[in-house]
Amino acid sequence: MTRFGAFLAALAMIGSINAVRAADPDASDWPAVLAAAQGQTVYFNAWGGSQNINAYLDWAANVLESRHGVSVVHVKLDNTAHAVAKVVAEKSAGNSDNGSVDLIWINGENFASMKKQDLLLSEDWATHLPNWRYVDVENMPTVRTDFTVPTDGLESPWGGAKLVFFYDSARTDAAELPDSALELLTWAQRNPGRFSYPAPPDFIGSSFLKQVLHEVIDDPKKLKKPVSEASFTADEAPLFAYLDELQPYLWRKGAAYPKNYPDMKQKLADGELDIVFAFNPAEASAGIAAGELARTVRSFSFSGGTLGNTHFVAIPYNATAKAGALVLANFLLSPEAQLRKQDPAFWGDPTVLSLQKLPTEMRARFEALDLGAATLRPDELGPNLDEPHPSWMERIEDAWLKRYGVGN
């Protein structure tokens, strides 16, 4: 091919890419989005490790099918990074308009990675969704920043999260519960084998590392910025000193770890563990309502604060069913869906909506929700500790695996 021919081919390719982008649905023209979504199938890549969450997504899929003619397939993930890897592979193969992932449940380092690599639908679509008007942007700054990274409308919030601990009050004395990571270490030493955490990179296990890091690092403000190569070794040292001391007092003396949160929950129910934790203030009440936990299980938090964040859904740049993905994202943000999501009988995940922005009848339904005897009141949860910049988790997970992973 001549140089001129190669030049024309390149122009044709650019024109093709621009045509695809020009065809992307415009969330500000909602009637057109609904029309384009008819008959589409949305492949929603989301964590599949919880029966109540899976049931909730089944319900949402049924609503979308009946109201909008949009089919939803829940692609069950055990690690969000697997969905990100699909999109990366498709981009490398030149697949820019027929991707296998239409919507991803995402936050943290996975969002930062996709944003950095231009793997997301590039226009600010989230703030143009019809149900964005209900989002509590005034009191929840984390709906606009994801682990310190600005969302820029590239992902839509659909749930709040707060790290909480829980225990069975029939077996464990509430007066002896720890009130910080350091007190938890002391408690574990007095109660060997009765505490553990999932092995990173499991999200809940990694969250435990971040909680400890927040409490033991010399200056928590460092966590708001990317890792400093010059000081990382010194910055991580207090965390691994803590974990080294904790290790022999873990369940099975740290020779094995719970697989994930549901595994920890089962071990609490079976009496193998006495303290477990989740990223949902209503998780214990939801477990009781589902018959998975004893009615004597209760929650507690640290008075100095625990990690808090918002989780989101995002649309890959090459999604096949972009319009359908927008319709699903908008529905997940609706007062109807958020109400069901916050109900412990179905999930118990905190809403990202402002009750003051809701219609009177819907606000009353939120206020009437029975969050369960095991759910702490907002004033009992303690302050929110900000999630570290995503680069911290990447480095900490890698260091943890080298130190405690298989073969070590």
Q: How many domains does the chain have?
A: 2
Do 221 and 300 lie in a common domain? yes
Q: With helix as H, strand as E and coil as C, how does 228-288 read? A: CCCCHHHHHHHHHHHHHHHHHHCHHHHCCCCCCHHHHHHHHHCCCCCEEEECCCCHHHHHH
Q: Which of 114-118, 160-164, 210-214, 383-387 comes out lowest in average pLDDT?
A: 383-387
In a domain, 18, yes or no: no
Provide the pLDDT for residue 21: 47
In a domain, 83, yes or no: yes
pLDDT category at 10 given cuts 50, 70, 90 is very low
Do 88 and 142 lie in a common domain? yes
Q: Given a cut of 60, is residue 28 above it in pLDDT?
A: yes
Q: What's the average model confidence in pLDDT over 18-33?
A: 78
| pLDDT tens digits, one per residue of 355-372 | 999 999 999 999 999 989
Do 387 and 246 lie in a common domain? yes
CB 166 within 8 A of CB 374: yes
Q: Which two tokens stand for residue 11?
A: 């122009």
pLDDT category at 378 given cuts 50, 70, 90 is confident
Do 183 and 269 lie in a common domain? yes
pLDDT category at 133 given cuts 50, 70, 90 is very high
In a domain, 400, yes or no: yes
In a domain, 215, yes or no: yes
Do 136 and 183 lie in a common domain? no
Residue with tokens 């929110």, as numbered in its chain: 384
Other CB atoms within 10 Å distance of the CB of residue 100: 17
Do 303 and 334 lie in a common domain? no
In a domain, 338, yes or no: yes
Rounded Cα distance, 68 and 153, in Å: 24
Q: Given a cut of 70, is residue 274 above it in pLDDT?
A: yes
Rounded Cα distance, 10 and 238, in Å: 53
Rounded Cα distance, 226 and 245, in Å: 27
Q: What is the mean pLDDT of the chain?
A: 92
Q: Given a cut of 60, is residue 108 above it in pLDDT?
A: yes
In a domain, 340, yes or no: yes
41 phi/psi in degrees, rounded to 5: -115, 120
In a domain, 5, yes or no: no
Sequence-ordered list of residues with C-beta below 8 angstroms from that of 84, at least 6 positions apart, any chain: 104, 106, 110, 113, 114, 119
Q: What's the average model confidence in pLDDT over 206-220?
A: 96
Sequence-ordered list of residues with C-beta below 8 angstroms from that of 249, at least 6 positions apart, any chain: 188, 189, 191, 192, 193, 195
Rounded Cα distance, 200 and 174, in Å: 29
Residue 344: CATH number of its domain: 3.40.190.10
Do 197 and 259 lie in a common domain? yes
Do 400 and 258 lie in a common domain? yes
Q: Given a cut of 60, is residue 142 above it in pLDDT?
A: yes
Do 225 and 118 lie in a common domain? no
Do 43 and 136 lie in a common domain? yes
| pLDDT tens digits, one per residue of 283-336 | 999 899 889 999 999 999 999 999 988 999 999 999 999 999 999 999 999 999
Q: How many residues can be counted in the chain?
A: 408
In a domain, 261, yes or no: yes
Provide the pLDDT for residue 255: 94
CB 198 within 8 A of CB 258: yes
Provide the pLDDT for residue 406: 59
CB 120 within 8 A of CB 314: yes
Do 79 and 115 lie in a common domain? yes
Per-residue b or e along 224-239, where b marks 16 or more CB atoms closer than 10 Å to that residue's CB: eeebeeeebeebbeeb
Q: Given a cut of 80, is residue 126 above it in pLDDT?
A: yes
Structural domain for 399, as ranges: 164-308+382-404
Q: Given a cut of 60, is residue 408 above it in pLDDT?
A: no
Do 299 and 316 lie in a common domain? no
Q: Given a cut of 90, is residue 22 above it in pLDDT?
A: no
**Residue 96 exposure: Cα atoms within 13 Å on the Cβ side:** 15
Q: Given a cut of 70, is residue 2 above it in pLDDT?
A: no
Provide the pLDDT for residue 327: 98
pLDDT category at 344 given cuts 50, 70, 90 is confident
pLDDT category at 195 given cuts 50, 70, 90 is very high
pLDDT category at 8 given cuts 50, 70, 90 is very low
